[in-house]
Amino acid sequence: MEKISELKWYSLSLPLCVVVCLLPFWTGPYYLQVFTIAFYYVVLASSWNLIAGYTGQFSLAHHAFAAIGGYTSALLVTLFGLPIWMGILAALLSSTLMGFILGVLCLRMRAIYLAIATWAFAESVRIFLSMTYKITRGDLGLAVPKIFLGTGRAVACYYLFLGLAAVTILVIFLINRSKMGYYIRAIRNDEMVARVMGIHATRWKIFSFSISSGIAGIAGAFYGHYNGLLTPVMVDFNEMAFIIIMVVIGGIRSIAGPVVGAIFIEILTETFREFGEIRMVVFALAVIAIARLYHEGAMGVVRRLALWISSRKQSREGVT
């Protein structure tokens, strides 16, 4: 049997979903915060996987769209007194629009040229946020109204980010199963063949890039209103590196890979926080090892193990 049926995969994931939903009843505020931030990275990693893993466009500006969404919502709420939900909606629109514009300008490029162009865009956003001190408060940080107040804030934010992560995963799953998913995978595998088949490659790449950017913008807005402070550090390249590490270690081109990678890396990051930048060296070595030895990541290992167990079980049943 080449692969386990979807029903079996869903039955395996159900206990994990129950554990995640009941986690606030078993742990304290500190670990609730760790998992809340982990869900934020689940959204970023999953949405980046849509453009990099499924469409094959290696963007280095994903964290910049999160910052665009975060600052858009924060400034509208702070300066103009808009409700937070309107600020988040504006974050979605602004990040999607910027993603569309950048996609139109850059997505005809390929490989290293696209990576450099998107990196330059992200650096421009970081420098702009640092220089516009009178509006964004620069490196001092912009104070942002928080979503929830009171003693139940940690639990409420946990479920809010869990819901955001769940909706993101569902959206990407539906895209992957739709005609759009077929088109973008065809573009990733061979763009010239996709064009011969009648697929408008540039249009679908821009569409995928815009959706991915919009999701990142929403995540950034939620993060800003959760954290209460936004700084240009949000657009530091280390943030983009973390997103890439999460996707690669979890398993690129899979739905569950970025989820597993984001939660795993965030927990490790908090556990070994005292080691500072040494963590990045360890993570980088892990990415190199996975890329060299087993590029399917953690989910690939789980899939192979499940297939091996299933084949062993079938062989035993055949013998009996």
> What are the tens digits of pLDDT across the range 143-169?
898 876 554 588 889 999 999 999 999
> What are the tens digits of pLDDT across the range 185-213?
998 888 888 888 888 888 899 999 999 99
- Separation CA 259–CA 142 (nearest Å): 29
CATH number of the domain where residue 201 is located = 1.10.3470
> Is the predicted pLDDT of residue 7 greater than 50, yes or no?
no
Q: What is the pLDDT of residue 315?
A: 67
Report DSSP letters for 232-269, one per residue. Answer: GGGGSHHHHHHHHHHHHHH-TTSSHHHHHHHHHHHHHH
> What are the tens digits of pLDDT across the range 224-252?
999 889 999 999 988 998 899 899 888 88
Q: How many domains does the chain have?
A: 1
Q: What is the pLDDT of residue 312?
A: 67
Instruction: Answer yes or no: is 306 within a domain.
Output: yes
- Separation CA 263–CA 274 (nearest Å): 19
Instruction: Answer yes or no: is 1 within a domain.
Output: no
Instruction: Answer yes or no: is 154 within a domain.
Output: yes
> What are the tens digits of pLDDT across the range 128-137?
999 988 899 8
Q: What is the pLDDT of residue 3?
A: 44
Look at the block and give the residue holding tokens 């990099």: 52
Instruction: Answer yes or no: is 87 within a domain.
Output: yes
| For the chain, percent of residues with pLDDT exceeding 70 | 84
> What are the tens digits of pLDDT across the range 42-92?
999 999 999 998 988 889 999 999 999 999 999 999 988 889 999 999 999
Instruction: Answer yes or no: is 26 within a domain.
Output: yes
Structural domain boundaries enclosing 45: 6-319
The pTM of this model reads 0.88
Q: Which of 146, 144, 154, 143 is nearest to 226 (CA)?
A: 146
